[in-house]
Amino acid sequence: MCGIVGYTGSSQAAPILMDGLAKLEYRGYDSAGVAVTKPEGGNIVVKTKGRLSVLSDMIDGGCALQGTCGIGHTRWATHGEPSTVNAHPHHNDDYSIVAVHNGIIENFAELKVKLTDKGYSFYSQTDTEIATKTIDYYYRKWGDPIKAMVSFILRVRGSYAIAVMFADLPEQIFIARKDSPLVVGINGGETYLASDVPAILKYCRDIYYMDNMEIARLEKGKATFFNVDSKIIEKKTKRIEWDVESAEKGGYEHFMMKEIHEQPSVIENTLSCLLKDNSIDLSEGKVTDEFLQSVERIQIAACGSAYHVGVAAKYVIEDLARVPVNVDVASEFRYRNPVFGKHDLLIVISQSGETADTLAALRGAKENGVKTLAIVNVLGSAIAREADMVLYTKAGPEISVATTKAYSAQLIVCYAIAVRLAKVRGTIDDKRYTKLIKSLQSIPAQVKKMLADDTSIKWLATKIAGKSDVFFIGRGIDYATCLEGSLKLKEISYIHSEAYASGELKHGTISLIENEVPVISVITQPRLAEKSKSNVVEVKSRGAYVMSVTLSGNYDIGNSVDFCIYIPKTEPCFTASVSVIPLQLLSYYVSVTKGLDVDMPRNLAKCVSVE
Ligand code: BG6
């Protein structure tokens, strides 16, 4: 996600801004920029696509910009592809207002219409420019920066950490926050702001954490906080004891655990961009209802965990929309001379948007005249650029090689496609459509509940860590979850494991089950519970140590296994999003127990952009 820094004090601002942005590089970005209030008045903005080093060269490391108050930004593109014009800071026409923003303004289109009607024009494709001009509009209306910020907060929907400078209020920075983090530090006569602690930790350890719907006026060595009623509020500082490295991980020991815990907000962000007035709206990806009605078959090609999303999507799409779905690993799909139908749709799923096999699968389908839809996390990536339609996951940059939050976001996009497809094809009625959407909206809370207490998983991990083989068994969507759980364990703990459709185990592999062999059974599909339970009995009778992930209330299953994790009851189609959480945590703790490099496992790359 984007990184924000700001400073007002007695030193030159630009070098401090550049130093702070460098501490936020780990968050991933595609462009960067700074704005400084000039000593003679007025704001100057310097920004560019590419790495911080490009920006640094443009301003001689900051020395070329004079001024003691400024804001800076590293951009992870969500609206508008990576480019200099889309980079932050954004500004109004005369640069009297400049702003940087981290988050997603969901009603940016509606605001743009309103501002256009009032004579505003726009130079970029970003929601942030619209946010900046919204503040400009209210500042012109009220003539008061706090009232302008309050009006902004009340007017926009979405998430934001925003920092604004008004040219006629030099040496002051105004900030507001909702859902995207924003911190403030004061040290003597110097005031610092950032979207994350690492950027200012070298200057101060007593940090103010902005809360939702709060505003602050930052002056040299002073911060004044306001609530949404424009009333001044008192805030206490928190003492940060972390070092910079652990601060980059938000206080978690590894990026993977930080990203596991980001999943509720990532799911919420991804879903919020696919819903409009409580209905699924895929128009941002140019996926029209008319097109969906024309689809007679779906082919899915992806790699690794993204492939496992495709397997889960097959079950959900076929169950809800009654459209046949083929899923294949992209490296097989691209070479097996696939048969394409006239009304096929190829869906490719990729976090990086650069995976060579997946890109090749996309190109092969396009050469055969097949429409293509990409589910991608990185704007401007090769797959995003070449697909006919693109739906973005809003996972932000994923640092850990083993994917978690991007996987969860990909699932959500697939669910949205399945539900919309079912709606337009009439295979579900309005009542079920509404119920499914409510179930989608309840997933973040259910995931959060699974993250609340992982004590028992930690204990189980110590038991699994000494094993040489682990089996994951499940039926239907649970089989897809087993594929992902097995890969997670292999990737980061180096323990051999296999995922098996429960019903297939008896056709050979059950010969490997013997005393104390760990078997992890995922049983969340009510229709298949009895069958799955009998598979548990089969392996138990051969001495297996069985852990089950099942729905709360399934005590008959819980009482027949050695270890049980209950997940909240949810729509059966969507349980993969919840049942995967204990498996992610289990793999993480096994890897930590074995003292391995969780975030950078041996032999693996975050993206395999070559064959
Ligand atoms: C692997 C990653 O290299 O590629 C996996 O380790 C990922 O986590 C797979 O699922 C596919 O990558 P992408 O970027 O196409 O989703």
pLDDT of residue 496: 97
How remote is the CA of residue 353 from the centroid of ligand 1, in Å?
Answer: 9
- Where are the alpha helices (H) located in 368-429, listed in sequence order? 382-386, 405-425
pLDDT of residue 604: 76
pLDDT of residue 25: 83
End-to-end Cα spacing for the chain: 29
| pLDDT bucket at 184, cuts 50 / 70 / 90 | very high
d(C-alpha 578, C-alpha 454), whole Å: 14
Q: Does domain 254-451 correspond to CATH entry 3.40.50.10490?
A: yes
pLDDT of residue 115: 98
Alpha-carbon torsion angle 255, 257, 259, 264, nearest 10: -160
How remote is the CA of residue 104 from the centroid of ligand 1, in Å?
Answer: 25
Note the pLDDT tens digit of each residue in 305-353: 999 999 999 999 999 999 999 999 999 999 999 999 999 999 999 998 9
Residue 248 has pLDDT above 80, yes or no: no
How remote is the CA of residue 395 from the centroid of ligand 1, in Å?
Answer: 14
Element (H, E) at 217: strand 214-219
Residue 414 has pLDDT above 80, yes or no: yes
pLDDT of residue 27: 72
pLDDT of residue 471: 97
Q: What residues are paired with 374 via a beta bridge?
A: 348, 390
Mean pLDDT across the stretch 555-578? 94
pTM of the model: 0.79
The tokens describing 525, both together, are 């599909």
CA-to-CA separations, 460 to 321, 490, 509, 590, in angstroms, rounded: 39, 16, 24, 9
Is 440 touching ligand 1 by the criterion CB < 6 Å? no
How remote is the CA of residue 603 from the centroid of ligand 1, in Å?
Answer: 13
Is 358 touching ligand 1 by the criterion CB < 6 Å? yes
Read off the DSSP letter of residue 188.
T
pLDDT of residue 379: 79
CA-CA-CA-CA torsion sign (57, 61, 64, 66): positive
Has 112 been annotated as catalytic?
no
Residue 10 has pLDDT above 90, yes or no: yes
CA 159 to chain centre: 13
pLDDT of residue 397: 81
Return the residue whose CA atom lies nearest to atom 9 of ligand 1: 304
The tokens describing 508, both together, are 């050979």
377, 379, 403, 597, best to mutate for ligand 1 pocket (most atoms within 8 Å of CB): 403
Is 352 touching ligand 1 by the criterion CB < 6 Å? yes
- Give me the catalytic one of 235, 458, 467, 606: 606
| pLDDT bucket at 231, cuts 50 / 70 / 90 | very high
pLDDT of residue 28: 78
Is 305 touching ligand 1 by the criterion CB < 6 Å? yes
Is 355 touching ligand 1 by the criterion CB < 6 Å? yes
CA-CA-CA-CA torsion sign (253, 254, 257, 261): positive
| pLDDT bucket at 131, cuts 50 / 70 / 90 | very high
Is 350 touching ligand 1 by the criterion CB < 6 Å? yes
- Locate the domains of the chain by residue range: 3-242, 254-451, 453-595
Is 410 touching ligand 1 by the criterion CB < 6 Å? no
Pick from 522, 433, 377: which is nearest to 78 by CA?
Answer: 377
Read off the DSSP letter of residue 179.
B
pLDDT of residue 147: 97
Element (H, E) at 271: helix 255-272
How remote is the CA of residue 232 from the centroid of ligand 1, in Å?
Answer: 48
Is 303 touching ligand 1 by the criterion CB < 6 Å? yes
Is 401 touching ligand 1 by the criterion CB < 6 Å? yes
Residue 245 has pLDDT above 90, yes or no: no
Q: Are 532 and 502 in contact (CB under 8 A)?
A: yes
How remote is the CA of residue 607 from the centroid of ligand 1, in Å?
Answer: 6
| pLDDT bucket at 547, cuts 50 / 70 / 90 | very high
Interhelix angle 127-142/108-117, rounded to 10 degrees, is 50
pLDDT of residue 562: 94
Residue 364, Cβ neighbours under 10 Å: how many? 20
d(C-alpha 221, C-alpha 171), whole Å: 11
| pLDDT bucket at 79, cuts 50 / 70 / 90 | confident
The tokens describing 556, both together, are 């008959």
pLDDT of residue 606: 73
The reply to whether domains 3-242 and 254-451 share a CATH topology is no
Q: Are 194 and 4 in contact (CB under 8 A)?
A: yes
Is 607 touching ligand 1 by the criterion CB < 6 Å? yes
How remote is the CA of residue 307 from the centroid of ligand 1, in Å?
Answer: 9
Note the pLDDT tens digit of each residue in 249-271: 888 899 999 999 999 999 999 99
CA-to-CA separations, 404 to 397, 497, 578, in angstroms, rounded: 12, 18, 12
pLDDT of residue 181: 87
pLDDT of residue 607: 74
Please state the φ and ψ torsions of residue 113, each to the nearest 5 degrees: -65, -45
Mean pLDDT across the stretch 478-503? 97
Residues 6+ apart with CB under 8 A from 559: none
Q: Does domain 3-242 correspond to CATH entry 3.60.20.10?
A: yes
Is residue 106 classed exposed, middle or buried when 0-12, 13-18 and 19+ CB atoms within 10 A define those classes? Answer: middle
Percent of the chain with pLDDT over 70: 99
Q: Are 571 and 433 in contact (CB under 8 A)?
A: no
Residue 90 has pLDDT above 90, yes or no: yes
Pick from 200, 415, 231, 238: which is nearest to 315 by CA?
Answer: 415
pLDDT of residue 506: 83
Read off the DSSP letter of residue 303.
-
Element (H, E) at 469: strand 469-474
| Averaged confidence pLDDT in the chain | 94
Q: Are 500 and 459 in contact (CB under 8 A)?
A: no
Beta 31-37 vs 545-551: how paired, if at all? Answer: unpaired
Write the CATH number of the domain with boundaries 453-595: 3.40.50.10490
Is residue 461 classed exposed, middle or buried when 0-12, 13-18 and 19+ CB atoms within 10 A define those classes? Answer: buried
How remote is the CA of residue 487 from the centroid of ligand 1, in Å?
Answer: 11
303, 307, 393, best to mutate for ligand 1 pocket (most atoms within 8 Å of CB): 303
| pLDDT bucket at 301, cuts 50 / 70 / 90 | very high
| 35-39, 157-161, 345-349, 432-436: least confidently modelled range | 157-161
Residue 583 has pLDDT above 90, yes or no: yes
Residue 605 has pLDDT above 80, yes or no: no
Mean pLDDT across the stretch 568-587? 97
Residues 6+ apart with CB under 8 A from 531: 475, 502, 503
Has 482 been annotated as catalytic?
no
Residue 240 has pLDDT above 90, yes or no: no
| pLDDT bucket at 6, cuts 50 / 70 / 90 | very high
Is 608 touching ligand 1 by the criterion CB < 6 Å? yes
Mean pLDDT across the stretch 40-53? 95
260, 328, 331, 355, best to mutate for ligand 1 pocket (most atoms within 8 Å of CB): 355
Give the atom of ligand 1 at the shortest distance from the alpha carbon of 306.
10
SS (H, E, C) 36-84: EECCCCCEEEEEEECCHHHHHHHCHHHCCCCCCEEEEEEECCCCCCCCC
Note the pLDDT tens digit of each residue in 354-408: 898 999 999 999 999 999 999 999 877 889 989 999 999 999 888 898 999 999 9
Residue 492 has pLDDT above 80, yes or no: yes
- Give me the catalytic one of 2, 303, 482, 564: 2
